[in-house]
Amino acid sequence: MTGIGNGVPRVEGRAKVTGAALYTFDLQPSEIGATQPILHGAAVLSTIACGRILALDTAAAEHSTGVRLVLTHRNMPPQAEWGPLNANVRFARAQPVFGDEQVRYFGEPVAFVVAESFECARAAAASIQVQYEADQAHTVLDSEHGIDPAPLHGGQSSDSSVGDFHGTFATARHRIDVQYETPYQNHAAIELQASIAAWDGDHLTVHTPAQITSAARTGLARTLNLPEDRVRVVARLIGGGFGGKLPYFADAVLCAVAARQLRQPVKFSFTRQQMFTATTHRSAVSHRVRIGVTTEGRITAISHDAVSQTASFDNYVDGSTAGAKGLYGAKAIRTTQRIARLDLPRSDSMRSPGDANGSMALECAIDEAAHACGQDPVAFRILNDTRVNPTTGRPYSSRHLVACLQEGARRFGWEERRSGRKGEWLIGQGVASAMRDNLVRPSAAQVTLTPAGQLVVRLDMTDPGTGTITILTQIAAETLGLPMEKVTVMLGDTDFPKTSGSGGSFGAESSGSAVYEACLALRRRLDDMTKGRDASPETVLRLVGEAGGVTAEGKIAPGDETKRYSEASFGAQFAEVAVNVHTGETRVPRMLGVFACGRIINERTARSQALGGMIWGLSSALIEANNVDHRGQMAMRDLANYHVPVLADIQNIDAVLLPETEPVANPLGMKGIGEVGINGAAAAIANAVFDATGIRIRRFPITLDRLLPGLPPLA
Amino acid sequence: MKDFAFSTAHSVDDAAHAAASGARPIAGGTNLLDLMKLQIETPNRLVSVRRLPRLDRVTVTDEGGVRIGAEVTNAALAAHPLIRQRYPLLSRAILAGASAQIRNMATTGGNLLQRTRCVQFYDMTDACNKRQPGSGCGARMGGNRMNAIIGGSEACIAVNPSDMSVALRVLDATVHVQDATGRVRAIPVASFHLLPGETPERETALQPGEIITEISLPPPPMGVHHYRKVRDRTSYAFALISVGAVADIREGRIVSARFAFGGIAPRPWRVEAAEAAMANRPAEVATIEHACDIALEGAKGYGDNDFKILLARRTLVATLLT
Ligand SMILES: Cc1cc2nc3c(=O)[nH]c(=O)nc-3n(C[C@H](O)[C@H](O)[C@H](O)COP(=O)(O)OP(=O)(O)OC[C@H]3O[C@@H](n4cnc5c(N)ncnc54)[C@H](O)[C@@H]3O)c2cc1C
């Protein structure tokens, strides 16, 4: 049994837990087909937030032991200009490195050393002296000064408006008008951002953990003014993506340039400390949420105004308003998205970008609204459910939010819940809804049945640790009636058919559908070959052998259905917290998430996605944040200071996946599952903290210093 | 990281000689190596003291106390039956720190000498009088959530982050050291960690070339041992506040109590006058708040760490009265 729906363990699981799995930085010359040793790079980062490089003293580094090359803005070969800002695929833009003497943020790469060993490279990098002329830097996100990003994107606005919000809100019986602040967060995946570049004549191969290899290829080709067909990007395994590896970074460009000049492969990884500025982060967002409710508890008006940070030269919008647009059936809804272009590193995608923080603001405000009208927060959400996306007017193709809330309430024991004091702990419970828009992106796959009877599946999809290799193996095995051992899935290579890549929860269904279609195409070809003969497996194999193997391709693209339906995954998050009455420390004894995400291909990997999202939600609610210091530097730059949850923070946690089949989005009946798990999880915890303490903290994370002033006096 | 030479000492003499000629002792390396990777510390030579003979044990003294070898690991010390039974405060304090893996490597001597976790101290691009005397104090400009509210100076508001040292301070430990001439000194832990004053780069009473050999504890004081650590996540985080205490409370009266705070000062913060003010007083909030008033006299926040003043009071009350 191939077991779609079952908890099949990861195909590459054993290799990963035994350390046999090779990630980009692990690769040795033989593994990248090189005959020469690989050189090592090290980077120097800027120490001002805005200004110019006046002088760069690289003499000591150039004469340092083992050093082969020092790259700075003075000797970089010509590169394309940054952008364009309105590119179709943001991750395929040109990203020149050391383009000029400008410094655009604190911790921007300004010099790169290549040496025979890692130690030599690092020592030499440390000897480089840089002098700057600093300009006044703007690094504080304030909600007043956001600009409309539409012109930067080429016109299309991310704002929305249906009905008369102002009029409806003004006359509502209960009005909630609140400001929530969500903080900067940094990527903390185990695998650092790293590349290895090698040239074969005019052909460049870059090994880099890019979630979308095709975008990295286009971007690198543009940056380096190369034809795309001379660039290959390979990402066989990715040690955690979370959106932080959707872009490609300076490591890839620098390795490519250095390897070309030195005619030898070059590898480089940012250090953990450098990751905090030289890659992308989740923007801090300032949210104003307004909700108008009738006496009976019907939501009539919702508005969500969000202001997020973007780099001074970028236009990324952390779109936080999808929940306001689609979760509840209000007749008047308006949303705005503004960005503040600051002298800070680039913000970009981080798991459930926009919705992760948007749901923190919206779902806490919904809790406030439920309290204002005296409704139970579960009942209030059920009462305000909608079948139709109120902003687009399109019906949801499948939506089981109410079922998630009801099943969650039943399993959690919502009706029997007890808040109040237990010893030195204040106990409370909270709930929140979760939603993440569903997307299918154009994807193709190729399958080959070899004469030996092995099915080889090729596509440029990547597996950032989520289980993609495994579910694609299952889909191919099931579609062709093969045992899983007979299927080999090869991913992460721009030599293979182009897919969506992984990200935005679209990866599994897009690439899964492409594999499914390719398998169907292969079956048709085999049927044609066996037409009129007996079709026993032996005959098929003999014919395949005679043909030297049979190959077929399949693809999927979003069709008309997206114009007729709204598509999203839904869920309900429940949490119980215990707040220490003396110190304000918050623990989370119980978390439960119930999700409806279409057909589940692999219960085990899907559940891991949901749990991982919920744990990140806990982190966002209580623990995780970075802040910008007075110089524009990200204050926390290692994992001792930048806190994410440890095992001891997680107690009783469970995720339940309701049976559901998505009828229109794709032939497999799947929906996205990688992101919905984080949405609402933080809000459920924040709402539970309110239930426990009566304190509403509107600035995340809810650290104990924020609760302390409101706790009861010492007895 | 800068190149360095490495040798292993096989006797305290060896180690002290190496240290006298400029080598830096390294034990578990869990603090020193991190600092070297960031080039906050740049020793030319390291001498490993990890394998010094007979310094890896815990023994009973004639007076009924214990002597702890400087190379006993944090894990071994916390698990030692003598410590668990007679000095549970020490055991708990150690177990509240770092992670199991780090405690397996970390040593008693190294823990006592671990350096501050002040964010600006760690940021080579920022001002720090401790790292680079005269450069200023970046922590005063903000980002000082983890910094000191008492005992700091104009020049420095860094915190001593050790949990173990808080327990040692409450237990009246003595630090034993030896130099290259064979001279030994016994330094009460109370005067081992220095306040920063104008010279925050000077952190301890240890003289260049001195090796820590042992730490001794007098017989345990009477009372119940407590170590309570308040932090930003459940485990594996430095203290925002910690309280080490031994309290003898009977029938609603405090017969005697000692306590020290961690996480708020450049050294474990113990004020004996505050303890005296609690003796023979009712075990109630007012008594403890009064003791806190004495212990925290002059405490002051720098913005992000203002909350520690209130948190210290509430944590002490919670520790002694619940
Ligand atoms: C991620 C992380 C989290 C941590 N969390 C905590 C925590 O929550 N609480 C806590 O208390 N600690 C914590 N620690 C710190 C840890 O306790 C110290 O790193 C450890 O105790 C240092 O011991 P070591 O033997 O490794 O010292 P080393 O790093 O080897 O040395 C530290 C210093 O001591 C000197 N030295 C060592 N031995 C001697 C000797 N015998 N004589 C003279 N000088 C000597 C060295 O020269 C060096 O200056 C954490 C550390 C890390 C890395």
- Substitution target from B234, B293, B319 for chain A, most A beta carbons within 10 A: B234
Nearest CA-CA partner of B304 in B156, B152, B140, B162:
B140
CB contact under 8 A, B143 and A638: no
A312-327 tens-digit pLDDT: 999 999 999 999 999 9
- Substitution target from A582, A628, A637, A638 for chain B, most B beta carbons within 10 A: A582
Atom 35 of ligand 1: nearest residue by CA position: B110
A 10 A CB-CB count for A154 gives 12
Burial class from Cβ neighbours inside 10 Å (0-12, 13-18, 19+) for residue A640 reads middle
Nearest CA-CA partner of A23 in A351, A457, A464, A459:
A464
A591-617 tens-digit pLDDT: 999 999 999 999 999 999 999 999 999
Which pLDDT belongs to residue A4?
62
The answer to whether the peptide bond before residue A84 is cis (omega within 30 degrees of 0) is: yes
Which pLDDT belongs to residue A495?
98
- Residue B261 to chain A, least CA–CA distance (Å): 15
Q: Measure CA of the first residue to CA of the last residue in chain A; give whole Å.
A: 63
Partner B contacted by A587 (CB < 8 A)? yes
CA A367 to chain centroid: 26
- The angle subtended at Cα B220 by Cα B217 and Cα B221, nearest 5°, is 125
* Calpha distance A510→A508 (Å, rounded): 6
* Calpha distance A59→A70 (Å, rounded): 9
Phi, psi for A714 (deg, rounded to 5) = -60, 135
Q: Which residues in A lie closer than 8 A to residue B307 (C-beta atoms)? A: 704-705, 708
A 10 A CB-CB count for A9 gives 12
CA of A635 to the centre of ligand 1 (A): 23
Which pLDDT belongs to residue A151?
86
CB contact under 8 A, B3 and A583: no
Nearest CA-CA partner of A293 in A366, A224, A360:
A366
pLDDT band for position A155 (50/70/90)? confident
CA of B261 to the centre of ligand 1 (A): 19
* Calpha distance A83→A87 (Å, rounded): 7
* Cβ contact A442:A461 at 8 Å: no
Region label for A565, one of left (φ > 0), alpha (ψ between -120 and 50) or beta (otherwise): beta
Model confidence at B322: pLDDT above 80 = yes
Mean pLDDT across the stretch A405-425? 97
* Calpha distance A683→A573 (Å, rounded): 9
Model confidence at A113: pLDDT above 50 = yes
Residue A457 vs residues A463, A473, A512: alpha-carbon distances, Å? 14, 8, 11
* Cβ contact B92:B227 at 8 Å: yes
pLDDT band for position A156 (50/70/90)? confident
A 10 A CB-CB count for B215 gives 27
Partner B contacted by A126 (CB < 8 A)? yes
What are the residues whose beta carbons fall under 8 Å from the beta carbon of A451, sequence distance 6 or more? Answer: A541, A544, A545, A548, A549
Which pLDDT belongs to residue A309?
97
* Calpha distance A644→A594 (Å, rounded): 23
- Class for the domain spanning B224-321: alpha beta
Model confidence at B1: pLDDT above 80 = no
* Calpha distance A295→A369 (Å, rounded): 11
Estimate the crossing angle of helix A250-262 against helix A213-223, to 10 degrees. 60
Q: Residues of chain A with pLDDT > 90: what percent?
A: 94
CA of B259 to the centre of ligand 1 (A): 23
Tokens of A411: 């399993």
- The angle subtended at Cα A314 by Cα A231 and Cα A673, nearest 5°, is 70
Atom 11 of ligand 1: nearest residue by CA position: B162
CA A528 to chain centroid: 43
Partner B contacted by A20 (CB < 8 A)? no
- Residue A708 to chain B, least CA–CA distance (Å): 7
Chain B segment 203-242 residues within 8 A of A by beta carbon are 230-238, 240-241
CB contact under 8 A, A623 and B1: no
pLDDT band for position A561 (50/70/90)? confident
Q: Residues of chain A with pLDDT > 70: what percent?
A: 99
CB contact under 8 A, A633 and B236: no
pLDDT band for position A198 (50/70/90)? very high
* Calpha distance B115→B127 (Å, rounded): 17
With a 6 A CB cut-off, is B149 part of the ligand 1 pocket?
no
- Residue B315 to chain A, least CA–CA distance (Å): 6
Mean pLDDT across the stretch A572-581? 98
Model confidence at A259: pLDDT above 90 = yes
CB contact under 8 A, B1 and A630: no
With a 6 A CB cut-off, is B162 part of the ligand 1 pocket?
yes
**Torsion (CA) A537, A543, A545, A551 in degrees, nearest 10:** -90
With a 6 A CB cut-off, is A646 part of the ligand 1 pocket?
no
CB contact under 8 A, B141 and A630: yes
B103-155 tens-digit pLDDT: 999 999 999 999 999 999 999 999 999 999 999 999 999 999 999 999 999 99
Domain edges within chain B: 224-321
Mean pLDDT, chain A, whole residue set:
96
Mean pLDDT across the stretch A394-418? 98
What are the residues whose beta carbons fall under 8 Å from the beta carbon of A374, sequence distance 6 or more? Answer: A297
Partner B contacted by A1 (CB < 8 A)? no
* Calpha distance B93→B77 (Å, rounded): 11
Which pLDDT belongs to residue A158?
84
CA B183 to chain centroid: 25
pLDDT band for position A1 (50/70/90)? very low
* Helix count and strand count (H, E) for chain B: 12, 12
Which pLDDT belongs to residue A145?
82
Q: Which residues in A lie closer than 8 A to residue B140 (C-beta atoms)? A: none
Instruction: State the DSSP string of A129-172.
Output: EEEEEEPPP-----GGG-B--HHHHTS----EEES-HHHHHHT-
Phi, psi for A66 (deg, rounded to 5) = 75, 0
CB contact under 8 A, A643 and B237: yes
CB contact under 8 A, B3 and A123: yes
Partner B contacted by A714 (CB < 8 A)? yes
Burial class from Cβ neighbours inside 10 Å (0-12, 13-18, 19+) for residue A534 reads exposed
Chain B segment 248-307 residues within 8 A of A by beta carbon are 285, 289, 307
CB contact under 8 A, A645 and B233: yes
A 10 A CB-CB count for B140 gives 18
pLDDT band for position A3 (50/70/90)? low
Question: Residue holding tokens 């939501």?
Answer: A299
pLDDT band for position A5 (50/70/90)? low
* Calpha distance A579→B170 (Å, rounded): 29
CB contact under 8 A, A714 and B314: yes
Which pLDDT belongs to residue A672?
95
Mean pLDDT across the stretch B19-39? 97
CA of B95 to the centre of ligand 1 (A): 14
What are the residues whose beta carbons fall under 8 Å from the beta carbon of A19, sequence distance 6 or more? Answer: none
* Calpha distance A222→A253 (Å, rounded): 11
Closest chain A residue to the Cα of B3, Cα to Cα: A123
Q: Which residues in A lie closer than 8 A to residue B284 (C-beta atoms)? A: none
pLDDT band for position A2 (50/70/90)? very low
B86-102 tens-digit pLDDT: 999 999 999 999 999 99
| Amino acid occupying residue A63 | H
CA of A221 to the centre of ligand 1 (A): 48
Chain B segment 236-255 residues within 8 A of A by beta carbon are 236-238, 240-241
What are the residues whose beta carbons fall under 8 Å from the beta carbon of A148, sequence distance 6 or more? Answer: A157, A159, A338
Residue in A584, A646, A711 nearest the CB of B234: A646
Phi, psi for A537 (deg, rounded to 5) = -55, -35
Residues B222-253, buried b or exposed e (16+ Cβ, 10 A)? ebebbbbbbbbbbbbbbbbbbbbbbbebeeee
- Residue A650 to chain B, least CA–CA distance (Å): 9
- Substitution target from A588, A631, A650, A711 for chain B, most B beta carbons within 10 A: A631
- Residue A250 to chain B, least CA–CA distance (Å): 21
| Amino acid occupying residue B159 | V
The 3-state DSSP class for residue A539 equals: helix
In chain A the domains, ranked by start, together with CATH numbers, are 14-136+190-240+245-279 (3.30.365.10), 160-184+282-438+564-710 (3.30.365.10), 443-557 (3.30.365.10)
**In A138-263, where does DSSP find H-type helix?**
150-153, 165-170, 213-223, 250-262
Tokens of B77: 């010390």
CA of A181 to the centre of ligand 1 (A): 37
A 10 A CB-CB count for A77 gives 10
| A81: annotated active-site residue | no
Partner B contacted by A58 (CB < 8 A)? no
Nearest CA-CA partner of A213 in A561, A516, A494:
A494
The answer to pTM > 0.90 is: yes
Q: CA quadruple A598, A601, A603, A607: dihedral positive or negative?
A: negative
Atom 8 of ligand 1: nearest residue by CA position: B97
Mean pLDDT across the stretch A163-169? 98
- Residue B234 to chain A, least CA–CA distance (Å): 5
Closest chain A residue to the Cα of B120, Cα to Cα: A635
A648-663 tens-digit pLDDT: 999 999 999 999 999 9
With a 6 A CB cut-off, is B20 part of the ligand 1 pocket?
no
- The angle subtended at Cα A187 by Cα A186 and Cα A193, nearest 5°, is 130
Which pLDDT belongs to residue A532?
77
Burial class from Cβ neighbours inside 10 Å (0-12, 13-18, 19+) for residue A709 reads exposed
DSSP state letter for B284: S
Tokens of A511: 């690439």
Partner B contacted by A647 (CB < 8 A)? yes
* Calpha distance A636→B264 (Å, rounded): 20
* Calpha distance B308→A175 (Å, rounded): 36
Residue in B138, B285, B318 nearest the CB of A583: B318
CB contact under 8 A, A635 and B143: yes
* Calpha distance A455→A542 (Å, rounded): 15
Mean pLDDT across the stretch A205-221? 98
Burial class from Cβ neighbours inside 10 Å (0-12, 13-18, 19+) for residue A484 reads middle
CA of B14 to the centre of ligand 1 (A): 21
Nearest-atom index, ligand 1, CA of B229 = 8
Tokens of B174: 């003595």
Tokens of B138: 């970046």
